[in-house]
Amino acid sequence: MRKAAVLGALLIIGAMLLFAIGKMPAMNSRNAPDKTHVIPRYLEKGEEEGGAKNIVTGVILNYRGYDTMGEVTVIFSALCAVVALLDREKRGLSRSSPDASGVRSSVIVRTVVRFAFPVIVFFAVAYMMLHGEGSPGGGFQGGAILGASVIVFTLAFGLPESTRRMPLKVRIPLESTAIVGFLAMGIIGLAYGVNFLTYLLPGVHGAMAQTVRNLMMTVIEVGIGIGGGVIFISIVFAMMREDKYELQPDVPQP
């Protein structure tokens, strides 16, 4: 009975969606309304105004800078919520049940991860964050890959090893770099009396202006990347640890 009611409601919603899709302009068309107003200008002047060859990066860091600020706030709030619910891990003492069982992951997994880990980190930092304005990539993409690489390391070598390598006192300042770096670069513009997130500051001209702009964008990209990556890592560590397997500091470790 309940299932029939749900299916009926879904049928009505689906019919409404299909009706709306039938009224939409054909996909792939160049004359659809979304591509005729502001987009030609973004595509033509994006490199000049946004300061990045990758126009998506230009849109994220310049035209729609407030969106990005909101996004950074959202992931930081998510970290706060997860930590409030599940608590932080203790350095070298927190374990998950696979760590507590004492069975190590296979030698193949550990060797592959040991060789792949530096390559993935290099890819994330050098290709994604530092070169994000000229090719596909950028802060969030690099941060996601950085976080994923450390998560792979944790799955292969266990939580105590990971928390010893990346202790809490290193991660806590890094978690806030994303939002602090972004706000700092945005407020520089306000201090000069121009808009939030303006990279071309008044009083700076010529080659110097280009250097300043590239420097500011790099600071934002690397800040968002490192901050976002470390936030993902902290969320996974908080979800991995289990209270009942926690070691006591005074008990000698097995």
Partner 1 sequence: MNFSRMFHNLNYVVSALLFLMGLYTVVVKPNLIKKLIGLNIMETSVFLFIVSIGMVEGGEAPIVAEGVKSSQMVNPIPQALILTGIVVAVSTTAVALSLCLKIHERYGTLNAAEILGRGEP
Partner 2 sequence: MNWALNLLLLLFLVTTAAVAIRLRDLLAVAIVFSAYSLMMAILWTQLRAPDLALTEAAVGAGVTTVLFVLTIFKTTRRED
Q: Does 151 interact with partner 2 (rule: CB under 8 A)?
A: yes
Name the residue among 44, 56, 45, 211 with its Cα closest to residue 133.
56
SS3 197: coil
Q: Which of 78, 43, 54 is nearest to 221 (CA)?
A: 54
For residue 57, the minimal CB distance to partner 1 (Å) is 8
Q: Which of 47, 49, 161, 246 binds partner 1 (CB under 8 A)?
A: 47
Considering only the stretches 52-60, 119-127, 196-204, 213-221, report the one whose residues sit in contact with partner 1 under the rule CB under 8 A: 52-60
Q: Please list the alpha-helical segments (H only) found in 194-249.
A: 206-240
Per the CB < 8 A criterion, the answer to whether 229 and 150 are in contact is: yes
Least distance (Å) from partner 2 to the CB of residue 35?
Answer: 13
Which CB sits closer to partner 1, 157 or 232?
232
**CA-to-CA separations, 228 to 7, 103, 159, in angstroms, rounded:** 40, 31, 20
**Residue 149 Cβ, how far from partner 1 at the closest point, in Å?**
16
Q: In this structure, how many other beta carbons lie within 10 angstroms of the beta carbon of residue 215?
A: 12
**Segment lying near partner 2 (by CB under 8 A), choices 13-21, 41-49, 136-144, 195-203:** 136-144
Cα–Cα dist 188/202, whole Å: 11
Q: Binding partner 2 by CB under 8 A: which of 97, 105, 106, 211?
A: 97
Q: Give me the sign of the Cα torsion angle 149, 155, 159, 162.
A: negative
Largest CA distance in the chain: 72
1 scored as a contact of partner 1 (CB under 8 A): no
Q: Can you say whether residue 247 is alpha, beta or left, with left for phi > 0 and alpha for psi between -120 and 50 degrees?
A: beta
Distance CA 47, CA 213 (A): 12
Per-residue string for binding with partner 1, 178-217, x by CB under 8 A? ----------------------------------------
67 versus 215: smaller Cβ distance to partner 1: 67
Residue choice 54, 68, 163, 177 for contact with partner 2 (CB under 8 A): 54
Q: Can you read off the two tokens belonging to residue 97?
A: 């049940």
The binding track of 167-206 with respect to partner 2, each residue x by CB under 8 A or -, is ----------------------------------------
Among 148, 184, 200, 209, binds partner 2 (CB under 8 A): 148
Quote the CA–CA distance of 76 and 83 in Å, as a whole number: 11
| Distance (Å, whole) CA 224 – CA 239 | 22
Residue from 46, 158, 160, 181 touching partner 1 (CB under 8 A): that is 46
159 binds partner 1 (CB under 8 A): no
Contact residues: partner 2, CB under 8 A = 28, 54, 56-57, 97, 128, 136-138, 140-141, 144-145, 147-148, 151, 155, 232, 235-236, 239-240, 242
